[in-house]
Structures are given as structure tokens and as C-alpha cells.
């Protein structure tokens, strides 16, 4: 059997195994040990600069970190949509712990609990605790500055109010749902989709929400936080070389250049951000991240990916560099580490919930035009990489300028082709493996922007041959102070006539 097929079948079996448990019956899961030292060491690919491949913290240290309790949370409303007396009502609520694994009896119980984990904030107050305002989500200026969309009922689905102490209302931030919730134009949300929360613009607002004369200590913390998030000192120049020279406005401007649906997540940079991934259909993906950084061999790997991305990996050692040390050195006693961690039970419930995510009903139904587009798709050989029914072959492709090490093709399902897309995310960030994964084309009708850094807004832009020109104006992520640039690579489909192009795009929107 071809290695591509082996990878596809192996991952698909995960979904079948999970879904095979009968609903309503007692469910006794075999929960993997998340921070298993051997599994953690093997789950990620080596970095493009192999000497910087991280060594993660030990399981002994990880399991010494206290588990973060999950408290009941409440909706946040836009300032002109909040019900009368809502804040006072919140202050009367008692704190409630809402995740208790001992009370989960059926698979449905675990899935519902996983959705609670998905929506549960990791921290409180501000994204990076830099801003001066307290309940800033009640300020009209925050909405006009960020452009954050609201649901039909006027609520803001990316944040939650949390009561950890009666009488004290806190803003809960940095949940899974903060990045992976998409508000559609008619005001309904798709959980797990490529989110459209303007994360970088919200961070920029926090950077700007400072006194006229900023506290020097706050300035120092901000720079240290940026080093923790983005620095990769083995890369020359560094992924974000201006950190130590920028003022507040300069920092904010770099982040304001990153549009919703794209994120300067930790391990990338505002100069090479990553498109927010769509988690719908994740059970059939062999690799996570645009760079294929983390393998998906079983449900335990999805749990590990969540644990590492909710700040576990910033404690890893990248050669001589430990990201968290740039902010504050982790204590020798993990019990003193602020913030806490997920429990294995919480992560298992979260993974089960993610495996159940399904796309909403597609309004783009097959017709004569889409049938013609399917023929174009087949004729042009698109299925070689975007293989039905998943519309991906779950493989990796090396980027321009990277020579795959001997043995990678057998170990990691690497295709022997280079499609020429911009290599910066794969070579010039902490998540850079030297590869990009072949993305699935499913769900393109509700996603966007597209390309690994979200450089184009629509499929029409992607199949526009003008995007290869240096005077092209990207319709998605462009970059700070950039007025025009090429969006190179993936030449497939750029030579189509207008009729074939329209038909192909119509077909792709039915997937």
C-alpha cells in the first residue's frame, strides 16, 4: 500500500474508533498520558535548523504544574447590546466549577464537557495583561478599533465573563474558541472553524491603551513578552528583529497589519504570521500547523498539541534559548508556576469534542457549472495533492531553499515537489520545519483568507495570475508598511481560461 494511503487510513481509523462507541451507553475511556516523555519527543518534526529542535520539559515537571480549574462563564455583550442590569446580576453569581470528570458517564457527557473546555478561558483580564483599562469590553472604542464581530444576540463569542470570586467580574481570555470561532455575515457562529476574531488588532489596542508616559516596567514586560512569543535567535535576522527598538505605536502598527483569520501566534511573528487553521475535519489530518510541525498519529497527539500550544512549548529548550525565560524564568518548583495546565481528562474531552465537529450546511449546491468545475479539477490533476474524499493527501512539500534530510520522505510522507510558495513561515520562524502541509480544500466556502499566511482573501484572488507580479496588492495579509508584493507559488490553475476558472471556483465552493 502506498505510504500516502497508509497515513490517510491510519488517521481516519481514529475517527471510526471514537465514533464506534454507542451513544448513551456508559463510556469508560482509556485516556492517554499526555506528557509522556517518549511521545512528546517524537510527536513534532525537527525544525529546519535541526540544532534548534526543541527539547520539551520533562513529564515530572509538567505533571507538577497545578491543574487549572474551569469556572462557569457568561456571555460578553457589545456596549449597546448588554441587557439592563447585567453586570450587577453577574456580581451576584456564585463561583461554580463546571468540569468534573467523575460526573461524566456517557460519551455524550464527555463531548459536552469537551465543548466547555473549548470555550474555557485560560487567563483573565487582557490578552497579555498590558492594558490599563479593566472591563474594557464595555468600551465602544475597543469595538471601533478592533472591528470584532458580534452575534445576532449582540454577544461577543471570543471572550467570556468569569466569576471566580463572588462580586468580582473578570474578562476570560485565550480560550481555544477565541481563535477557532467564526462569526458569519448573518450573525451566527461556526465553532472550530478558521476564526475571524481580530486577535492582532486586539493586542494592538492593548499596546496603545497605555498612559501618555508608559511605566518603564510595563514597557520592559511588553518587550520580554514579544521575545517570548517570537524570538528565534538561531535565525539571522531574527524572526522579529525590531522588538528592542520599537515604541508602543511601532509595536501596535505591526500587529494592526495582520487581518482577522490570520494570527501572529507564538512561534511565528508579525512578519510571518499563520492563517488560523480550520479544526473541522481535524480527525482526518495527519499533521497540525501549516508547517506540519506536529504529527497526528492518535488522539493522544491531538491532546499533546493542545497542551503544547496552550503555553507548554514556550518552556521547551530551543538550543540555548528557552522562550519563557525571556519573560520570567520558570520556577524550579512547578507547583509555583502561575496559570496552571489542563488535566489529561480535560484534554481528552476537548479532543473528543473536536473530533465531532462537522461543517454547517453548504449553501453552494451542485449544478451544471460545478459539474464542469469538477471536470476541470480532474483534468488539471488537482487530485494528485488534493485527493478526494478528504481533498488532501496528508503529505508535506519542501519549501524553496530547504533540502529535506535523508530519511524524511519515508518518515514523514514528503512529496518530491516544490510549489514555490513564500518560505518565510517555514524557514524564518520557531515553527519552521522547512515544509508546508498539503491543505484540505474542504470548507473553502466558509473560510478565508487563504494561503499559509492568509495573503489572499478569496479563491478568485488565488487563481488570479496577477498575484505573481511584484506590483500585486494582496487582498489578505500584506505586511506592515507594504503597499504591494507578489504572492508567489502554486502556479496550478493560473493559466485557465475565464470559463474554466469560474467553473473550478464554483466546484471548490461545494466541498
Interior CA angle at 270 toward 147 and 240, to 5°?
Answer: 150
Q: C-alpha grid cell for residue 203?
A: 493586542
Residue 76 CA neighbour count, 13 Å, CB half? 26
Instruction: Give the distance from CA 428 to its chain's centroid.
Output: 18
For residue 55, the 8-state DSSP code is: B
Q: Taking a C-beta distance cutoff of 8 angstroms, is the pair 274, 292 a contact?
A: no
Domain residue ranges in the chain: 59-356, 361-394+438-511
Q: What is the pLDDT of residue 385?
A: 97
CA distance 437 to 32: 26
Q: What is the pLDDT of residue 18?
A: 47
Classify residue 364 by burial, with Cβ atoms within 10 Å: 0-12, 13-18, 19+: middle
Beta strand extents in 402-494 (DSSP E only): 435-437
Q: How many angstroms separate the Cα of 96 from the Cα of each of 74, 78, 108, 109, 297?
A: 12, 25, 21, 18, 36
Q: What is the pLDDT along the chain (511 residues), one digit of tens a residue?
A: 333 333 434 444 444 444 444 455 788 899 999 999 999 999 999 999 999 999 999 999 999 999 999 999 999 999 999 999 999 999 999 999 999 999 999 999 999 999 999 999 999 988 876 666 789 999 999 999 999 999 999 999 999 999 999 999 999 999 999 999 999 999 999 999 999 999 999 999 988 887 767 677 777 888 888 999 999 999 988 888 898 898 888 999 999 999 999 999 999 999 999 999 999 999 999 999 999 999 999 999 999 999 999 879 999 999 999 999 998 888 999 999 888 999 999 999 999 999 999 999 999 999 999 999 999 999 999 999 999 999 999 999 999 999 999 888 889 999 999 999 999 999 999 999 999 999 999 999 999 999 999 999 999 999 999 999 999 999 999 999 999 999 999 999 999 999 999 999 999 999 9
Q: Taking a C-beta distance cutoff of 8 angstroms, is the pair 431, 291 a contact?
A: yes
Nearest residue to 343 via CA among 58, 36, 109, 67: 67
Q: What is the pLDDT of residue 32?
A: 97
Cα dihedral 372→374→378→384 (10° resolution): 160
Q: What is the pLDDT of residue 474?
A: 97
Q: C-alpha grid cell for residue 145?
A: 478599533
Instruction: Give the distance from CA 308 to its chain's centroid.
Output: 12
H helix runs in 180-259, sequence order: 199-208, 216-230, 248-256
Q: What class has domain 361-394+438-511? A: mainly alpha
CA distance 375 to 394: 23
For residue 22, the 8-state DSSP code is: P
Predicted structure pTM score: 0.92
Amino acid at each position: 500500500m502506498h505510504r500516502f494511503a497508509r497515513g490517510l487510513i491510519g488517521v481516519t481509523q481514529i475517527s471510526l474508533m471514537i465514533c464506534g462507541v454507542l451513544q448513551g451507553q456508559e463510556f469508560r475511556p482509556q485516556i492517554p498520558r499526555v506528557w509522556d516523555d517518549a511521545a512528546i519527543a517524537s510527536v513534532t518534526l525537527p525544525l529546519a535548523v535541526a540544532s534548534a529542535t526543541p527539547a520539551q520539559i520533562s513529564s515530572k515537571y509538567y505533571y507538577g504544574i497545578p491543574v487549572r480549574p474551569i469556572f462557569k462563564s457568561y456571555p460578553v455583550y457589545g456596549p449597546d447590546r448588554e441587557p439592563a442590569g447585567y453586570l450587577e446580576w453577574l456580581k451576584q453569581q456564585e463561583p461554580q466549577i463546571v468540569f468534573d470528570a467523575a460526573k461524566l458517564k456517557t460519551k455524550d457527557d464527555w463531548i459536552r464537557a469537551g465543548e466547555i473546555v473549548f470555550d474555557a478561558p485560560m487567563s483573565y483580564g487582557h490578552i497579555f495583561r498590558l492594558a490599563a483599562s479593566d472591563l474594557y469590553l464595555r468600551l465602544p472604542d475597543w469595538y471601533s478599533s478592533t472591528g470584532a464581530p458580534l452575534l445576532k444576540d449582540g454577544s461577543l463569542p471570543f471572550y467570556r465573563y468569569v466569576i471566580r470570586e463572588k462580586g468580582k467580574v473578570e474578562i476570560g481570555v485565550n480560550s481555544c474558541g477565541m481563535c477557532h470561532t467564526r462569526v458569519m455575515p448573518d450573525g451566527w457562529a461556526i465553532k472550530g472553524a478558521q476564526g475571524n476574531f481580530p486577535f492582532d488588532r486586539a493586542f494592538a489596542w492593548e499596546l496603545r491603551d497605555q498612559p501618555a508616559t508608559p511605566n518603564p516596567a510595563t514597557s520592559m514586560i511588553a518587550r520580554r513578552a514579544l521575545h517570548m512569543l517570537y524570538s528565534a535567535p538561531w535565525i539571522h535576522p531574527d524572526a522579529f528583529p525590531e522588538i528592542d527598538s520599537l515604541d508602543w505605536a511601532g509595536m501596535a502598527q505591526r500587529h494592526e497589519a495582520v487581518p482577522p483569520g490570520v494570527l501572529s501566534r507564538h512561534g511565528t511573528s508579525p512578519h510571518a504570521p499563520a492563517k488560523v487553521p480550520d479544526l473541522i475535519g481535524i480527525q482526518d489530518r495527519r499533521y497540525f500547523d501549516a508547517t506540519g510541525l506536529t504529527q497526528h498519529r492518535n488522539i493522544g497527539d491531538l491532546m499533546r498539541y493542545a497542551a503544547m500550544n496552550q503555553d507548554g512549548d514556550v518552556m521547551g529548550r530551543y538550543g540555548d534559548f528557552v522562550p519563557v525565560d525571556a519573560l520570567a524564568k520558570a520556577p524550579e518548583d512547578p507547583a509555583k508556576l502561575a496559570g496552571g495546565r489542563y488535566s489529561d481528562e480535560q484534554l481528552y474531552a476537548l479532543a473528543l469534542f473536536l473530533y465531532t465537529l462537522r461543517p454547517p450546511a453548504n449553501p453552494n449546491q451542485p449544478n451544471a457549472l460545478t459539474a464542469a468545475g469538477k471536470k476541470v479539477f480532474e483534468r488539471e490533476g488537482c487530485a494528485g495533492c488534493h485527493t478526494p474524499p478528504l481533498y488532501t493527501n496528508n503529505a508535506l512539500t519542501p519549501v524553496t531553499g530547504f533540502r529535506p534530510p535523508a530519511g524524511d520522505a519515508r518518515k514523514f510522507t514528503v512529496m518530491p515537489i516544490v510549489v514555490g510558495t513564500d518560505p518565510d513561515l517555514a524557514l524564518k520562524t520557531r515553527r519552521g520545519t522547512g515544509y508546508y502541509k498539503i491543505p484540505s480544500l474542504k470548507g473553502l466556502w466558509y473560510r478565508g483568507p487563504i494561503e499559509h499566511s492568509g495573503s489572499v482573501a478569496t479563491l478568485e484572488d488565488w487563481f488570479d495570475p496577477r498575484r505573481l507580479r511584484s506590483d500585486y496588492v494582496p487582498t489578505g495579509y500584506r505586511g506592515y508598511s507594504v503597499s504591494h508584493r507578489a504572492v508567489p507559488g502554486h502556479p496550478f490553475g493560473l493559466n485557465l481560461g475565464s470559463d474554466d476558472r469560474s467553473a473550478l471556483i464554483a466546484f471548490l465552493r461545494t466541498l
